[in-house]
Amino acid sequence: MNDSPPDYFEALVGAVERMQNNNRSTRGAIYDRARKLLLEEAQSADPPWQLVEVVREQRALEAAVEEVESLFTDEPPPRAKTSLLPPAKARRYEPPPEPEYEEDETELDQGPYEEDPVEPEPKPAPSRRGLATRRRVVQEVRVSPQWWVWVGIGAFLLLIALVVILLLRPSPPAVAPPPPIVSAPPAPEKVATPTESSDEDRLRRAREHVARANDFARASDYGSAIGEYTEAIRLAPLDANIYNNRAFAYWSRGETELAIADYDAALRRDSTNIVALTNRAVANNFRGDHEAAIRDLDRAVALRPDNPDILNSRCWARALAGRSKDALADCNESLRLRANDPNTLDSRGFAYLKAGELDRAVADYDLALKIDPKLAGALYGRGIARSRKGDKKAGEADIAAAKALRPEIDAVFSRYGMR
């Protein structure tokens, strides 16, 4: 290691000479960097520097700045922008009992640097820590490229990257020119039915189909009704009531098996659906499966034990199955809940007819026809009862009146085993 301490002057001159643009501004940046490095070294020291050490090194640096600047201009060098105050980590200054260097006793004045005496003074020897700091600052100034060099290199690299990106970027596809404006507006595009729309929208559209289907059914256009119900089921496949409605349309067209299949589907979706249970029982009675009908009606009665219509339906099914005693119990309970109902009186009259109690059968049929003279089933049943009692003429008159009201009534009673 050289005996002479590193010199700020040599480091600053070397840095200035390496500059491409040597002017007052760029040289000032070098000086400011050296000042900053000096203070950073002082602030990071442990223990903190005393004021005398900070001032000594700052004076040595500023003397070198003035000497370097005198080589390139007659103007005074730019003053340090950093205040000559103790570093941030320094303790509050207390003058030592005896200064380490007698020649520095006049330097303990804490006034601004501009007011210090300007007559030349011999350069003070740096302290041990000042010597180490001076070496680090000189080395940094000599070897570190200046900030504008880094900025220039970064800008150059960024420019190269942009050029490469633009060269490697594929050309955009050719865009066809817009079509000419014509006087007539284009036809509106047909909007496809949103099959994947929201649940709320599907249910709304399903209700619209059901409403149209009900209108067709009221007009006895069961084919159109079935089409609308089918579309409603596609939109709302979990709605048991729509299956019930389509089953009724099938039933009205004489398609018993399709009706029962729809009632089955309705009950798979809602096992407690009273309408599906009672209507499937009617269809099973029609095709002769009376026990299946009774099972459905047992479930319905368990759900609605005080419903006179369900009790009446089970009375009829039990009568068809030959279980007259159970049938009469259901009809009597139904009439207790709703007295003088013509349909229930008709059912009880049929139960008496199946049981062979002809007088009671005729009596119930008389009461039912008094309330509803166009009750074809009661007319036909009374005609059978009268004929069996020996009154053929009256019996044939009742049967003829029943056929006039309902031409298929003869086939219905034949299916029930009643002639």
Whether cis (ω within 30° of 0) applies to the bond prior to 6 is no
Q: Is 53 contained in some domain? A: yes
Q: Is 355 contained in some domain? A: yes
186: enclosing H helix or E strand: none
Q: What is the reported pLDDT for 10? A: 80
Q: Are 210 and 240 in contact (CB under 8 A)?
A: no
Domain boundary among 104, 126, 151: 151
Please state, in angstroms and rounded to a whole number, the distance separating the CA atoms of residues 301 and 313: 10
Q: What is the reported pLDDT for 72? A: 75
Q: What is the reported pLDDT for 133? A: 65
Q: Is 195 contained in some domain? A: no
CB within 8 Å of 367: residues ≥ 6 apart: 340, 342, 345
- CA terminus-to-terminus distance, the chain: 138
Question: Domain span at residue 78?
Answer: 8-93+115-151
Q: Are 354 and 322 in contact (CB under 8 A)?
A: yes
Handedness of CA 43, 48, 52, 57 (dihedral sign): negative
Q: How many independent structural domains does the chain possess?
A: 2
Q: Is 261 contained in some domain? A: no
Q: Is 349 contained in some domain? A: yes
Please state, in angstroms and rounded to a whole number, the distance separating the CA atoms of residues 252 and 50: 112
Would you say the pTM of this structure is higher than 0.75?
no
Q: What is the reported pLDDT for 132? A: 63
Please state, in angstroms and rounded to a whole number, the distance separating the CA atoms of residues 337 and 312: 11
Q: Is 52 contained in some domain? A: yes
Number of Cβ within a 10 Å radius of residue 399: 21
Cα 117 to chain centroid distance, Å, stands at: 79
Q: Residue 390: which CATH number?
A: 1.25.40.10
Q: Give pLDDT < 50 ranges for the chain.
A: 1-3, 81-121, 144-145, 147, 171-192, 194-196
Q: What is the reported pLDDT for 66? A: 86
Q: Which amino acid is at 9?
A: F
Q: Are 230 and 246 in contact (CB under 8 A)?
A: yes
Domain boundary among 151, 167, 196: 151
pLDDT in tens, 76-129: 555 554 444 433 333 333 444 443 434 443 333 333 333 343 444 455 555 555
DSSP, res 108? G
44: enclosing H helix or E strand: none
pLDDT in tens, 191-222: 445 444 588 899 999 999 999 999 999 999 99
Q: Is 168 contained in some domain? A: no
Q: What is the reported pLDDT for 298? A: 97
Q: What is the reported pLDDT for 129? A: 58
Q: Is 246 contained in some domain? A: no
